[in-house]
């Protein structure tokens, strides 16, 4: 998949978007007659949509800002000037509609959605092999759903555009629940059309398991736990995933797309504009990698304290100190999951793991509620981390224990804010940190978007 992304990067020109801020109308409108005619055309367009996931406003930076830094997992530390100020405001719930990080997340997510809408609109009109047509449509539906899921959780009421935007059309907001209900339909269709797995250079594309995992997450968010259970049991029984034996074997370039991985955003180093920012963004010092260490997305003291003594995930996930080039120990909390050897600054080859099997096991426990099977599922994850079993007699409510386990297992993987919302626990985060002075859970729709669409209202 990484090789495909490199070869087909130029196809983004055909599925790029207009200069309108919402980016719902692709430039390809003027090229459709010449481009969307063959299987190769559609494969190139879908690949361009995958490439869109790499962008700064999506998985490159926007989503960890919205789902990790918004939560109690990470913060920006004491920095409050320049770019850092934008993160500090997000972390303190004081950002406004002009915040550039939030604006980027909105616009670049909708840019990917626009690409997918053109594919889904055109593909029924072209004669393709039926299985390939279903697969390509399934990939586009999954990618679009991934964008809408983050937008709905982050912004609440948003425009739900399912067809190519035509200049002059008026966008209409719908509520978060309506968006999620649409995703249930789309992801069900996507799962049916996608393969269980790929081989060779196609490894990394969306699979049945990827669509089903997002579907289960959406169903849990809607409170449809029984339906989510059905989907999760299907993933476990039919799609071939398992936990890797050691938590450390999940991370690093050599461990990408492993047996536990369900979907990853593929990044490619080499100075071609498709490398990730994670290593430089999260490293606290230039001593740990080539180029700058920006020290962003810093684990909080609360995050560090969440790990139990002996939890093997701690040293893999984060650290409280590092050793500089002079051999001195420097105190600075920082994320370790995305460290890699860089030849060029901001050009890491390391993928971002969006979904993995441990999340499926913990979601099934959530769907079931407090049962002996639920604790078995939680303990399967805990035992890999070197921790003893818990059960109904362990301190805390079932929800508190499950949320705690999700926090340490999935730390820095963009799940925490959505988890807190789903478990109705966001107020505990807002109340727990002295620096948080705002109380707004949803992000502001960007001001430029509000100016273009005066009918919009902030959630």
Query: Over pLDDT 90: what percentage of the chain?
Result: 78
The answer for residues whose C-beta is within 8 angstroms of residue 409's C-beta and 6 or more apart is 313, 358, 359, 362, 381, 385
Percent of the chain past pLDDT 70, that is, above it, reads: 90
pLDDT, tens digit, 9 for 90 and up, residues 80-92: 777 788 888 888 8
- Give the SS3 label for residue 415: coil
Per-residue pLDDT, 433? 62
Q: Residue 47: what pLDDT?
A: 95
**Rounded distance between C-alpha atoms, residue 4 and residue 455, angstroms:** 41
Residue with the larger pLDDT of the pair 316 and 7: 316
Residue range 286-292: average pLDDT? 90
Read off the pLDDT of each residue in 422-446 and give the average, rounded to a whole number.
78
Would the pLDDT of 30 be above 50?
A: no
Model pLDDT, residue 260:
98
User: What local confidence, expressed as pLDDT, does residue 168 receive?
Assistant: 77
Determine the pLDDT at residue 91.
85
Over the stretch 296-355, which tens digit does the pLDDT of each residue have? 999 999 999 999 999 999 999 999 999 988 899 999 999 999 999 999 999 999 999 999
Please give the residue that has the higher pLDDT: either 94 or 208. 208
Q: State the pLDDT at residue 247.
A: 98
Residue 12 has what pLDDT? 42
pLDDT at position 325 is 85
> Can you give the pLDDT at residue 16?
39
Q: What does the pLDDT read at residue 15?
A: 39
DSSP element (H, E) containing 64 = helix 62-64
The two structure tokens encoding residue 187: 């992801």
Alpha-carbon distance of 56 to 105, in angstroms, equals 8
pLDDT at position 33: 57
Q: What is the pLDDT of residues 226-279, one digit of tens each?
A: 999 999 999 999 999 999 999 999 999 999 999 999 999 999 999 988 999 999
Residue 22 has pLDDT above 70, yes or no: no
Note the pLDDT tens digit of each residue in 46-63.
999 999 999 999 999 999
The mean pLDDT value for 6-22 works out to: 41
Residue 26's pLDDT is: 45
**What's the pLDDT score for residue 31?**
54
- pLDDT, residue 319, reads 97
Residue 3's pLDDT is: 52
Distances (CA, A) of 431 to 95, 241, 302, 341: 17, 38, 13, 39
Query: What average pLDDT does range 183-196 have in this prediction?
Result: 98
Tell me the C-alpha distance between 17 and 24, whole Å: 7
Q: Which residue has the tokens 């100075």?
A: 271
Residue 134 above 90 pLDDT? yes
Q: What does the DSSP 8-state code read for residue 251?
A: S
Where does the pLDDT of residue 93 fall: very low under 50, low under 70, confident under 90, or very high at 90 and above?
A: confident
The predicted-structure confidence for 362-374, as pLDDT tens digits, reads as follows: 999 999 999 999 9
pLDDT at residue 8, as a whole number: 47
30's CB contacts (< 8 A; 6+ apart) are none
Q: Give yes or no for residue 27 having a pLDDT over 50.
A: no
Mean of pLDDT values over 117-121: 96
113 pLDDT above the threshold of 90: yes
Say if residue 171 is exposed, middle or buried (CB neighbours under 10 Å; 0-12, 13-18, 19+): middle
Task: State the Cα angle at 73 between 58 and 361, rounded to 5°.
Answer: 80
Q: Which of 441, 431, 450, 418 is nearest to 64 (CA)?
A: 418
Per-range mean pLDDT, top range of 76-90, 276-290, 379-393? 379-393
């Amino acid at each position: 998949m990484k090789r495909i992304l490199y070869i087909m990067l130029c196809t983004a020109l055909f599925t790029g978007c207009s200069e309108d801020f919402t980016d719902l109308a692709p430039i390809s409108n003027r090229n459709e007659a010449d481009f969307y005619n063959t299987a190769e055309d559609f494969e190139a367009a879908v690949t361009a949509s995958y490439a869109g996931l790499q962008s700064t406003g999506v998985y490159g930076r926007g989503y960890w800002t919205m789902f990790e830094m918004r939560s109690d997992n990470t913060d920006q530390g004491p920095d409050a000037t320049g770019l850092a100020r934008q993160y500090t405001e997000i972390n303190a719930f004081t950002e406004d509609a002009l915040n550039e990080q939030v604006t980027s997340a909105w616009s670049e997510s909708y840019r990917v959605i626009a690409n997918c809408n053109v594919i889904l609109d055109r593909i029924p009109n072209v004669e393709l092999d039926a299985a390939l047509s279903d697969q390509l449509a399934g990939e586009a539906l999954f990618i679009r759903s991934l964008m809408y899921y983050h937008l709905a959780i982050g912004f609440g009421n948003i425009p739900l555009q399912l067809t190519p935007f035509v200049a002059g059309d008026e966008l209409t907001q719908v509520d978060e629940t309506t968006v999620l209900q649409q995703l249930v339909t789309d992801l069900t269709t996507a799962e049916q059309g996608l393969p269980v797995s790929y081989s060779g250079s196609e490894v990394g594309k969306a699979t049945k398991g990827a669509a089903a995992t997002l579907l289960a997450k959406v169903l849990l968010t809607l409170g449809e736990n029984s339906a989510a259970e059905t989907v999760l049991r299907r993933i476990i029984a039919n799609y071939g995933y398992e936990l890797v034996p050691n938590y450390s074997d999940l991370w690093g370039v050599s461990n990408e797309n492993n047996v536990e991985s369900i979907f990853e955003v593929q990044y490619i180093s080499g100075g071609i504009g498709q490398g990730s920012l994670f290593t430089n963004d999260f490293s606290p010092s230039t001593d740990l990698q080539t180029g700058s260490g920006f020290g962003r997305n810093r684990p909080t003291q609360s995050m560090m304290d969440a790990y139990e003594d002996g939890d093997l995930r701690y040293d893999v996930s984060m650290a409280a100190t590092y050793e500089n080039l002079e051999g001195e120990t420097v105190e600075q909390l920082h994320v370790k999951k995305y460290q890699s050897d860089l030849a060029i600054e901001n050009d890491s080859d390391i993928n971002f793991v969006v979904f993995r099997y441990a999340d499926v096991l913990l979601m099934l426990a959530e769907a079931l509620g407090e049962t002996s099977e639920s604790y078995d599922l939680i303990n399967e994850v805990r035992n890999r981390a070197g921790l003893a079993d818990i059960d109904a007699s362990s301190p805390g409510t079932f929800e508190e224990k499950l949320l705690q386990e999700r926090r340490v297992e999935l730390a820095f993987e963009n799940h925490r804010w959505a988890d807190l919302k789903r478990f109705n626990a966001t107020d505990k985060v807002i109340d727990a940190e002295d620096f948080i002075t705002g109380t707004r859970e949803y992000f502001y729709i960007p001001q430029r978007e509000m100016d273009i669409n005066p009918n919009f209202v902030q959630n």
